[in-house]
Amino acid sequence: MPRLRLAVLVSGRGSNLESLLAASREERMDAQVVLVVSNKPAAPALDVAASHGVPAKVVPSAGLDREEHEAQLAAAIDAARVDLVVLAGYMRVLTPAFIQRYHGRLVNVHPSLLPAFPGVDAQGQAQARGVRIAGCTTHFVTEEVDGGPIVAQAAVAVPPGADAEEIRRLVLDLEHRIYPATIDMIAKGKVRLVGGKVAYSGLTPTGLRVITSPEVGL
Protein backbone atom coordinates (compact mmCIF):
# COMPACT_ATOMS: atom_id res chain seq x y z
CA MET A 1 0.00 0.00 0.00
CA PRO A 2 1.40 3.45 -0.88
CA ARG A 3 1.62 5.88 2.02
CA LEU A 4 -1.26 8.31 2.52
CA ARG A 5 -0.58 11.65 0.79
CA LEU A 6 -1.18 14.64 3.06
CA ALA A 7 -1.71 18.35 2.42
CA VAL A 8 -1.14 20.30 5.64
CA LEU A 9 -2.86 23.67 5.90
CA VAL A 10 -1.18 26.17 8.22
CA SER A 11 -1.34 29.83 9.23
CA GLY A 12 1.26 30.20 11.97
CA ARG A 13 4.06 28.60 13.95
CA GLY A 14 3.96 25.09 12.50
CA SER A 15 4.83 22.95 15.51
CA ASN A 16 2.14 20.40 14.59
CA LEU A 17 3.48 20.35 11.03
CA GLU A 18 6.92 19.67 12.50
CA SER A 19 5.58 16.75 14.55
CA LEU A 20 3.86 15.27 11.47
CA LEU A 21 7.05 15.55 9.42
CA ALA A 22 9.04 13.87 12.18
CA ALA A 23 6.50 11.05 12.53
CA SER A 24 6.54 10.50 8.77
CA ARG A 25 10.34 10.46 8.60
CA GLU A 26 10.60 8.08 11.57
CA GLU A 27 7.85 5.88 10.09
CA ARG A 28 5.59 6.26 13.11
CA MET A 29 2.93 7.45 10.66
CA ASP A 30 2.11 5.69 7.42
CA ALA A 31 1.74 8.98 5.54
CA GLN A 32 3.83 11.62 3.83
CA VAL A 33 3.37 15.37 3.62
CA VAL A 34 3.30 16.15 -0.10
CA LEU A 35 2.18 19.76 0.21
CA VAL A 36 2.05 22.54 2.80
CA VAL A 37 -0.27 25.46 2.12
CA SER A 38 -0.30 28.66 4.15
CA ASN A 39 -2.81 31.47 3.83
CA LYS A 40 -0.26 33.78 5.55
CA PRO A 41 2.89 34.69 3.57
CA ALA A 42 4.90 35.25 6.77
CA ALA A 43 3.90 32.07 8.60
CA PRO A 44 6.93 30.46 10.33
CA ALA A 45 5.41 27.11 9.30
CA LEU A 46 6.68 27.84 5.77
CA ASP A 47 10.25 27.75 7.11
CA VAL A 48 9.48 24.41 8.76
CA ALA A 49 8.35 23.06 5.38
CA ALA A 50 11.44 24.48 3.64
CA SER A 51 13.81 23.01 6.21
CA HIS A 52 12.32 19.57 5.53
CA GLY A 53 12.37 20.03 1.76
CA VAL A 54 8.59 19.74 1.48
CA PRO A 55 6.80 21.64 -1.31
CA ALA A 56 5.05 24.66 0.17
CA LYS A 57 2.71 27.15 -1.38
CA VAL A 58 1.27 30.43 -0.18
CA VAL A 59 -2.35 30.98 -1.14
CA PRO A 60 -3.00 34.37 0.45
CA SER A 61 -6.47 34.87 1.85
CA ALA A 62 -6.18 38.61 2.46
CA GLY A 63 -8.36 40.61 0.10
CA LEU A 64 -10.03 37.56 -1.45
CA ASP A 65 -13.54 36.37 -0.72
CA ARG A 66 -13.79 32.86 0.71
CA GLU A 67 -14.96 31.19 -2.53
CA GLU A 68 -12.16 32.73 -4.56
CA HIS A 69 -9.55 31.82 -1.98
CA GLU A 70 -10.78 28.26 -1.59
CA ALA A 71 -10.90 27.70 -5.35
CA GLN A 72 -7.15 28.38 -5.42
CA LEU A 73 -6.63 26.23 -2.34
CA ALA A 74 -8.55 23.28 -3.80
CA ALA A 75 -6.67 23.58 -7.10
CA ALA A 76 -3.34 23.32 -5.26
CA ILE A 77 -4.55 20.36 -3.16
CA ASP A 78 -5.98 18.46 -6.11
CA ALA A 79 -2.90 19.06 -8.29
CA ALA A 80 -0.83 17.36 -5.57
CA ARG A 81 -3.08 14.23 -5.59
CA VAL A 82 -3.80 14.47 -1.88
CA ASP A 83 -5.61 11.75 0.08
CA LEU A 84 -6.14 13.66 3.34
CA VAL A 85 -6.31 17.39 4.10
CA VAL A 86 -4.85 18.14 7.53
CA LEU A 87 -5.59 21.41 9.32
CA ALA A 88 -2.69 22.30 11.62
CA GLY A 89 -3.20 25.73 13.10
CA TYR A 90 -5.14 26.88 10.05
CA MET A 91 -6.85 30.05 11.25
CA ARG A 92 -9.57 30.47 8.67
CA VAL A 93 -13.10 29.10 8.73
CA LEU A 94 -13.82 26.96 5.66
CA THR A 95 -17.01 27.18 3.61
CA PRO A 96 -19.55 24.33 3.55
CA ALA A 97 -18.69 23.74 -0.14
CA PHE A 98 -15.00 23.17 0.65
CA ILE A 99 -15.85 20.94 3.62
CA GLN A 100 -18.23 18.86 1.45
CA ARG A 101 -15.64 18.52 -1.30
CA TYR A 102 -13.24 16.83 1.16
CA HIS A 103 -15.88 15.00 3.20
CA GLY A 104 -14.24 12.23 5.25
CA ARG A 105 -10.81 13.42 4.06
CA LEU A 106 -10.45 16.57 6.18
CA VAL A 107 -9.19 16.49 9.78
CA ASN A 108 -8.33 18.99 12.51
CA VAL A 109 -6.68 19.08 15.92
CA HIS A 110 -8.22 21.28 18.60
CA PRO A 111 -6.52 22.16 21.89
CA SER A 112 -9.33 21.14 24.26
CA LEU A 113 -11.34 18.11 25.21
CA LEU A 114 -14.26 18.84 22.88
CA PRO A 115 -17.14 19.55 23.17
CA ALA A 116 -15.71 21.77 25.92
CA PHE A 117 -14.14 25.03 24.79
CA PRO A 118 -14.61 25.20 21.02
CA GLY A 119 -13.37 28.28 19.20
CA VAL A 120 -10.38 30.50 19.89
CA ASP A 121 -8.05 30.32 22.89
CA ALA A 122 -9.39 27.02 24.14
CA GLN A 123 -6.54 26.68 26.66
CA GLY A 124 -7.25 30.17 28.07
CA GLN A 125 -10.93 29.25 28.35
CA ALA A 126 -9.97 26.04 30.16
CA GLN A 127 -7.70 27.90 32.58
CA ALA A 128 -10.33 30.56 33.29
CA ARG A 129 -12.87 27.81 34.02
CA GLY A 130 -10.46 26.11 36.40
CA VAL A 131 -10.50 22.70 34.73
CA ARG A 132 -8.40 20.08 36.50
CA ILE A 133 -7.97 17.91 33.40
CA ALA A 134 -7.13 19.42 30.02
CA GLY A 135 -6.40 17.89 26.66
CA CYS A 136 -6.86 17.91 22.93
CA THR A 137 -9.07 16.36 20.29
CA THR A 138 -8.64 15.22 16.72
CA HIS A 139 -11.78 15.17 14.59
CA PHE A 140 -13.15 15.03 11.08
CA VAL A 141 -14.18 18.48 9.95
CA THR A 142 -17.85 19.20 9.36
CA GLU A 143 -19.73 22.46 8.92
CA GLU A 144 -20.06 22.97 12.67
CA VAL A 145 -16.84 24.67 13.82
CA ASP A 146 -14.92 22.25 16.12
CA GLY A 147 -18.04 20.06 16.12
CA GLY A 148 -17.15 17.20 13.75
CA PRO A 149 -16.99 13.51 14.70
CA ILE A 150 -14.22 12.92 17.24
CA VAL A 151 -11.43 10.51 16.30
CA ALA A 152 -9.14 10.66 19.34
CA GLN A 153 -8.56 12.57 22.55
CA ALA A 154 -5.66 12.82 24.97
CA ALA A 155 -5.85 14.23 28.47
CA VAL A 156 -3.41 15.53 31.05
CA ALA A 157 -3.78 16.53 34.71
CA VAL A 158 -3.56 20.29 35.20
CA PRO A 159 -1.22 21.03 38.11
CA PRO A 160 -2.92 23.20 40.73
CA GLY A 161 -1.99 26.83 40.10
CA ALA A 162 -1.10 26.28 36.44
CA ASP A 163 -1.47 29.37 34.26
CA ALA A 164 -2.78 29.40 30.69
CA GLU A 165 0.77 29.21 29.32
CA GLU A 166 1.49 26.01 31.20
CA ILE A 167 -1.77 24.47 29.99
CA ARG A 168 -0.88 25.49 26.44
CA ARG A 169 2.49 23.74 26.79
CA LEU A 170 1.04 20.55 28.27
CA VAL A 171 -1.71 20.37 25.67
CA LEU A 172 0.62 21.12 22.75
CA ASP A 173 2.82 18.20 23.75
CA LEU A 174 -0.27 15.96 23.57
CA GLU A 175 -1.25 17.41 20.17
CA HIS A 176 2.18 16.51 18.82
CA ARG A 177 1.60 12.90 19.79
CA ILE A 178 -2.06 12.36 19.03
CA TYR A 179 -2.20 13.99 15.59
CA PRO A 180 0.38 11.69 13.95
CA ALA A 181 -1.25 8.71 15.72
CA THR A 182 -4.67 9.76 14.38
CA ILE A 183 -3.37 10.06 10.82
CA ASP A 184 -1.61 6.72 11.11
CA MET A 185 -4.92 5.09 12.11
CA ILE A 186 -6.62 6.68 9.09
CA ALA A 187 -3.76 5.61 6.81
CA LYS A 188 -4.03 2.02 8.03
CA GLY A 189 -7.82 1.97 7.54
CA LYS A 190 -8.47 1.63 11.28
CA VAL A 191 -10.56 4.80 11.36
CA ARG A 192 -13.16 5.87 8.81
CA LEU A 193 -16.07 8.24 8.66
CA VAL A 194 -19.22 6.18 8.05
CA GLY A 195 -22.67 7.77 8.03
CA GLY A 196 -21.43 10.80 9.94
CA LYS A 197 -19.85 8.69 12.69
CA VAL A 198 -16.31 7.46 13.26
CA ALA A 199 -15.96 3.71 12.75
CA TYR A 200 -12.94 1.92 14.26
CA SER A 201 -11.43 -1.44 13.44
CA GLY A 202 -8.35 -3.40 14.39
CA LEU A 203 -7.35 -1.22 17.33
CA THR A 204 -5.60 -2.21 20.57
CA PRO A 205 -8.13 -1.96 23.44
CA THR A 206 -7.76 1.25 25.46
CA GLY A 207 -6.13 0.63 28.85
CA LEU A 208 -8.07 1.67 31.94
CA ARG A 209 -6.06 4.44 33.58
CA VAL A 210 -7.46 7.03 35.95
CA ILE A 211 -6.18 10.61 35.82
CA THR A 212 -6.99 12.79 38.81
CA SER A 213 -5.97 16.35 39.59
CA PRO A 214 -5.13 17.16 42.28
CA GLU A 215 -3.60 13.75 42.90
CA VAL A 216 -5.86 11.93 45.33
CA GLY A 217 -4.31 8.48 45.05
CA LEU A 218 -7.11 6.58 43.30
Long-range residue pairs from 64-71, CB within 8 A, at least 24 positions apart, any chain: 66/94, 66/95, 67/95, 67/97, 69/39, 70/94, 70/95, 70/97, 70/98
Q: Does 180 bind ligand GRF (CB under 6 A)?
A: no
Least separation in angstroms between residue 16's CB and ligand GRF is: 3
Q: Does 111 bind ligand GRF (CB under 6 A)?
A: yes
Q: Say which residues have a Cβ less than 8 Å from residue 218's Cβ, sequence separation at least 6.
A: 210, 212
- Of 28 and 81, the one with the shorter C-beta distance to ligand GRF is 28
Q: Does 107 bind ligand GRF (CB under 6 A)?
A: no
Q: Does 12 bind ligand GRF (CB under 6 A)?
A: yes
Q: Does 7 bind ligand GRF (CB under 6 A)?
A: no
Least separation in angstroms between residue 30's CB and ligand GRF is: 21
Part in contact with ligand GRF (CB under 6 A); list of ranges 28-36, 75-83, 107-115, 182-190: 107-115
Exactly one of 69, 110, 139, 176 is catalytic; name it: 110
**How many chain residues touch ligand GRF (CB under 6 A)?**
13
Per the annotation, the verdict on 110 as an active-site residue is yes
Part in contact with ligand GRF (CB under 6 A); list of ranges 69-77, 96-104, 108-116, 156-164: 108-116
Q: Does 147 bind ligand GRF (CB under 6 A)?
A: no
Q: 3-state secondary structure string, 57-117? A: EECCCCCCCHHHHHHHHHHHHHHCCCCEEEECCCCCCCCHHHHHHCCCCEEEEECCCCCCC
Binding residue for ligand GRF, selected from 3, 15, 57, 83, defined by CB under 6 A = 15
75-85 burial by CB neighbour count: b if 16+ within 10 A, else e? ebbeeeebbbb
Q: Does 13 bind ligand GRF (CB under 6 A)?
A: yes
Binding residue for ligand GRF, selected from 34, 56, 88, 170, defined by CB under 6 A = 88
- Catalytic residue ranges: 110
Residues that bind ligand GRF (CB under 6 A): 12-16, 45, 88-89, 109-111, 172, 175
